[in-house]
A and B are shown apart, each in its own frame.
Chain A
Amino acid sequence: MTKSELISALSAAHPHLNARDVELIVQTILTEISTALSRGDRVEIRGFGAFVVKKRDARQGRNPRTGSTVAVSEKTIPFFKAGKELRERVNAQVSGAHLPGTHLSRSKRG
């Protein structure tokens, strides 16, 4: 599924919203996660997962073609760790375990 397919599917599920708003919602969520990570913040969505940034130290890398050493500077990597429910749901068919009632559990609007 691509972003545009996600937007179409959401529009179909929420017919009272226009497609432009649905697109704005999806984009707002993604932009906010990206912005938070850029600030070095973490984003934690219970049941779904957590987005964090990890620091990678500077290192001596190698150009795989020539074998010459190149300095790789320190950098930050976005990282996603799946939450428990997501992990279990993704794994459900393989293990054959049926997990009753594992919908992204979230008390209906607190």
Chain B
Amino acid sequence: MFTLHGTGVGFGIAIGTARLIRRPGQEVPEYSILSGQVNQEIQRLTDGIHSAADCLSAYYEDIHDASTSEVQGILEAHLMMVQDPILLEQSASIIRERLVNAEFALQLHCENLQAVFRNIDDPYMRNKSDEISQVIGRIQDELLGQHAGQSSLEGIKEGEIIVTHDLMPADTIEYKKYHVGAFLTNLGGPISHTAILARSMQIPAIVGLHEGIRYLKTGDTLVIDGKRGIVLVEPDDAALDVYHKRAAKIKRVARELEAIKYKPARTLDGRTIELNANIEFADELKQSLECNASGIGLYRTESLYMNRKELPDEAEQFDVYSTLLNSTERPVTIRTLDLGADKQVDGGRRNMSLATNPALGLRAIRLCLHDLTLFKPQLRALYRASIHGDLRIMIPMVSSQAELDQLFIVLDEVRDELAQENLPFKPHVPIGGMIEVPAAAVTADIFAKRLDFLSIGTNDLIQYTLAIDRIDDEVNYLYDPLHPAVLRLIKSVIDVGQNAGIPVSMCGEMAGDIECTRILLALGLREFSMDSAVISEVKQRVRGTHIGEIEPMVRDLLTVNESDRYRDLIQLINR
């Protein structure tokens, strides 16, 4: 028994036998040919191209009804690439000049093409080189298939684990037919074709195994742990037993979670809790509604600004925001730009790396107030979109009253401008502040007088309160969401909100951590916002909690002075 490690994606655990599928990037045979064989080899190449094209056209016909236009578009493009005369000409001239076999000539040609893309810093362009190797790989497959005399996908049995270099978009349709158990690939990351396919088929996959699959052969027994990214090869009976039990448990939990999806998030003592979703892209809204989120508690707008050279203008932002608001009647909280620190605008608006400590530097609302050309188009777009739904605007990283003074002046200006231009907007969009700087948490009562809601951003609040940089390996063991200092700050912000009669929510990672759910409930939190994937888990925890019963223990937690007792208490609370 041995293990391989990669990036785990998709769902749960799969146990089955390996089926190796040869794919581009794996070694292709290389051999010399005689000058008298050149024409014959070029004919082989031409035939290979024709059968690859036939195969792609067949898929293309096949999916006309079944699939999205996006997949169709990619397939059509791949077909055009295979049939492009340049591909044949250039590979044929390699055969002529170097006297090598067709497969290897394609390989050399592919490497030449990829070299062009390698130095391009645009991420969208860089993965074009993967598509070229996929297309060329398909022709290589056909050439090798001529030797083997059969198509590689034939004979796949239900539950088998597909082991391959990388999946191609065309395969995504093929594999769905076979009900395979899992995918293992050398290439790919959390948003690769393989990952998307695995999620849609609700099976696990491990991608980015690098050259790991070379240690596997067809027929090996494998255990795939999609959550941890581990492959167990030829496991012993004890390991198999453990994983069979885990797989059964995962199935049971999934059934339980599915069963409570449309049940209310209500505690045993009758408190109704709001569970909202955090989203990064507008199209994640659908997924969060499927998970039955009460609304969007945090839409991060940074993705609109990243990976591009030019800033999005007001019109583009208005489109995105109004489309989002139009698609749901539930409340949507949009956070204004939170750039700086670990999130930089591409295109180098200013050189942030000069700052010695970017987490404490010009970022979020500070950056926005510093540069109104960045901030105002977003605010205008938000106000204009406000008539399309239930919008709330959230300002990240507020730390002083002077910032609020400036903010309200800018908001007044924006509303005046829109009114003068006769553009429709809601004048009273709720404005909230994200409480993530300890200064704001300590003086939350002053902020509460001027804002319509507060939202606790725990990731930064914990980092600033404990003076721990989470990405610093040497100190991150001290990063503790349940540190009494953090819990006291959270409690005081929640209390402030109750006294002022304004809502307080939490949108950091802590809000989606089921180890913290009960403690937060006992501290008085009633609105959570989290990744939609964990909503059901948190809801299950909420539904199993009697707040009154754990309140005394959580009160102790705020003052306990022995670390052993502290750990015991947490265990007791979460029991």
A in complex with B: no
Give the interface of B toward A (CB within 8 A): none
Give the interface of A toward B (CB within 8 A): none
